[in-house]
C-alpha cells in the first residue's frame, strides 16, 4: 500500500465531513479536512456568548432519532442530555398555544371547552370543508382543519419560510404535518432518542476530530488542485458550485439571525425554548437559549434570544440552509444532472446536505455517512495497513436508512 492510497480529502467540517473523517481515520486512512469557515461543526456550530449562554450560531439544533446506532456513535464523543423539545405559537402576546396543533391549541384558539379527544375531533369535523380532491396545500388543510387554523398557523409561516402561498404548494407537502386531537405537545413525539450534547456540539466535534490521522484546516476553501495525491475526496460543498453552476444554480432558503439581550437568568415561567410567530411580520420563531438544558454556562443575569428571518440565500451571503422543493420538481431535475456528472468521476463522492441537495436532519447525515464509509471500505476491500482501529472494531451499521 502506497502513501497515495492512504490519503483522503474531506471538504467540510460539518456532520457529514466529521463522521467520514473519523470513520476513515479509524480504518487507517490519513485524512485532511478543510472548511471555508473559521470554525468546525458546520451548521451545528455553537459557542458561549457575552451573556454566558450557549448559542447555536445557525439556529437551534435539537437531536432526535430512532436510530440507536447513531446514538451509540455520538455517545462516544459526548454526554447526551435528555431534552424533549416543545414549541408554543404566539397567537397574541397574551395567548400562547401548543404547536403542532393539538386539543389544547384548538380549544384555546376558539375559546371553547373541548374536554377530551373525541370532543376535539368532533369540533374539527365542524371546521373541515368538504373538498373531495384538494388541488393544493391550502385546499388540503381547509379540508382537514378549516380556514381559521390554516390561516393562523400555516399560511403566514409558509409565506415567510418559503416565500410562497399555500395555493402554490402541493398538497403532499402538508400531508406530512401532524394535526393532533390529543394532548401530545412534544415536537418530535415519534422519536425514542431526544437529547443535546452536554457541553455543546462544537466540543463534541473537537473530540470527533481528535485523532492522530486527522488534520483540520479552517478558513480554507476547496480548490481542484487539492485532490492531487489523494486516493479519494468526500465533498460536502454545494454540488452546483463544484461544477461552476453549468446546469444552473440550485436555490436554497436561508435565515438571518437577530440576537437580542434580555434581563434575567432564565426564561419566564410558561415560555417554551422556542416560540413561533403567527403574524405577518418577517420572523418565524424566537429561541430563548437559556431554556435549553446546559445552555446557561456562566451566570450573568442576562440571556440571549434569537429571532429567525427567512430569506433567499442570495440575500444572505449565499448561506445555504433549506433546498427549495417545488411541486414540479424542477430543481431536483437540475440536481440529477449534476449527480450524473458526479457519478462518472473517479475518486470523488458528494456527501451531506449541499453535496446531495436535500434537507437532512443530523441523525440522517450521521447514518448516511457511516453507511457511505462502510461501502467505501468494502469496495477498497484492503484498507491500508497500520490501522490501529479497523472498521470491524466499530459497531456495525445498518445498510438501509433507519
Please answer whether residues 8 and 235 qualify as being in contact, where contact means their C-beta atoms are separated by less than 8 angstroms. no
Taking the least distance from each CB to ligand FAD, the nearer of 222 and 397 is 222
Q: Is the dihedral of CA 200, 204, 207, 213 positive or negative?
A: negative
The minimum distance between CB 102 and ligand FAD, in angstroms, equals 20
118 Cβ contact partners less than 8 Å away, ≥ 6 residues apart: none
Taking the least distance from each CB to ligand FAD, the nearer of 140 and 397 is 397
Taking the least distance from each CB to ligand FAD, the nearer of 29 and 205 is 205
CA distance 109 to 151: 12
DSSP code at position 111: T
CA distance 230 to 243: 19
The minimum distance between CB 347 and ligand FAD, in angstroms, equals 17
Nearest to 144 by CA among 176, 186, 118: 176
Please answer whether residues 383 and 27 qualify as being in contact, where contact means their C-beta atoms are separated by less than 8 angstroms. yes
Please answer whether residues 303 and 264 qualify as being in contact, where contact means their C-beta atoms are separated by less than 8 angstroms. yes
Taking the least distance from each CB to ligand FAD, the nearer of 44 and 174 is 44
Q: How far is CA 118 from the centre of its chain?
A: 35
List contacts with ligand FAD (CB under 6 A): 11-17, 34-37, 42-44, 58-63, 221-222, 236-237, 255, 321, 352-353, 360-363, 365
The minimum distance between CB 11 and ligand FAD, in angstroms, equals 5
User: Residue 106: phi, psi to the nearest 5?
Assistant: -65, -45
Taking the least distance from each CB to ligand FAD, the nearer of 98 and 310 is 310
The minimum distance between CB 254 and ligand FAD, in angstroms, equals 8
The minimum distance between CB 52 and ligand FAD, in angstroms, equals 23
Taking the least distance from each CB to ligand FAD, the nearer of 102 and 306 is 306
Q: Is the dihedral of CA 103, 109, 113, 118 positive or negative?
A: negative
Q: Is the dihedral of CA 374, 377, 379, 381 positive or negative?
A: negative
Taking the least distance from each CB to ligand FAD, the nearer of 89 and 383 is 89
Cell of residue 103, nine digits = 386539543
The minimum distance between CB 238 and ligand FAD, in angstroms, equals 6
Amino acid at each position: 500500500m502506497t502513501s497515495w492510497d492512504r490519503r483522503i480529502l474531506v471538504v467540510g467540517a460539518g456532520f457529514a465531513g466529521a463522521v467520514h473523517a473519523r470513520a476513515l481515520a479509524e480504518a487507517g486512512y490519513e485524512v485532511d479536512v478543510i472548511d471555508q469557515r473559521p470554525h468546525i461543526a458546520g451548521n451545528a456550530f455553537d459557542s458561549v456568548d457575552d451573556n454566558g449562554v450557549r448559542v447555536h450560531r445557525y439556529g437551534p439544533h435539537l437531536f432526535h432519532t430512532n436510530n440507536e446506532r447513531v446514538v451509540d456513535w455520538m455517545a462516544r464523543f459526548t454526554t447526551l442530555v435528555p431534552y424533549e423539545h416543545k414549541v408554543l405559537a404566539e397567537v397574541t402576546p397574551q395567548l400562547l398555544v401548543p404547536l403542532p396543533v393539538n386539543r389544547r391549541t384548538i380549544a384555546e384558539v376558539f375559546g371553547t371547552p373541548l374536554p377530551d379527544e373525541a370532543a376535539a375531533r368532533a369540533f374539527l369535523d365542524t371546521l373541515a370543508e368538504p373538498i373531495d380532491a384538494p388541488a393544493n396545500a391550502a385546499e388540503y388543510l381547509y379540508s382537514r382543519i378549516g380556514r381559521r387554523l390554516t390561516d393562523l398557523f400555516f399560511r403566514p409561516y409558509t409565506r415567510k419560510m418559503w416565500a410562497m402561498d399555500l395555493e402554490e404548494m402541493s398538497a403532499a407537502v402538508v400531508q406530512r404535518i401532524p394535526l393532533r386531537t390529543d394532548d401530545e405537545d412534544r415536537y418530535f413525539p415519534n422519536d425514542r432518542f431526544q437529547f443535546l450534547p452536554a457541553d455543546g456540539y462544537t466540543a463534541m466535534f473537537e473530540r470527533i476530530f481528535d485523532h492522530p490521522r486527522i488534520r483540520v484546516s479552517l478558513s480554507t476553501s476547496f480548490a481542484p488542485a487539492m485532490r492531487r495525491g489523494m486516493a479519494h475526496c468526500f465533498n460536502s460543498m454545494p454540488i452546483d458550485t463544484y461544477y461552476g453552476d453549468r446546469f444552473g444554480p440550485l436555490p436554497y432558503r436561508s435565515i438571518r439571525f437577530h440576537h437580542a439581550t434580555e434581563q434575567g437568568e432564565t426564561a419566564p415561567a410558561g415560555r417554551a425554548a422556542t416560540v413561533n410567530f403567527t403574524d405577518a411580520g418577517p420572523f418565524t420563531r424566537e429561541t430563548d437559549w437559556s431554556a435549553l438544558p446546559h445552555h446557561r454556562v456562566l451566570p450573568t443575569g442576562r440571556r440571549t434570544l434569537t429571532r429567525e428571518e427567512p430569506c433567499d440565500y442570495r440575500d444572505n451571503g449565499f448561506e445555504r440552509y433549506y433546498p427549495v422543493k417545488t411541486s414540479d420538481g424542477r430543481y431536483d431535475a437540475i440536481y440529477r444532472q449534476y449527480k450524473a456528472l458526479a457519478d462518472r468521476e473517479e475518486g470523488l463522492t458528494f456527501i451531506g446536505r449541499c453535496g446531495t441537495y436535500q434537507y437532512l436532519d443530523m441523525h440522517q447525515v450521521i447514518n448516511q455517512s457511516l453507511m457511505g464509509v462502510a461501502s467505501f471500505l468494502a469496495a477498497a476491500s484492503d484498507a491500508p495497513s497500520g490501522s490501529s482501529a479497523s472498521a470491524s472494531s466499530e459497531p456495525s451499521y445498518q445498510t438501509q436508512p433507519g
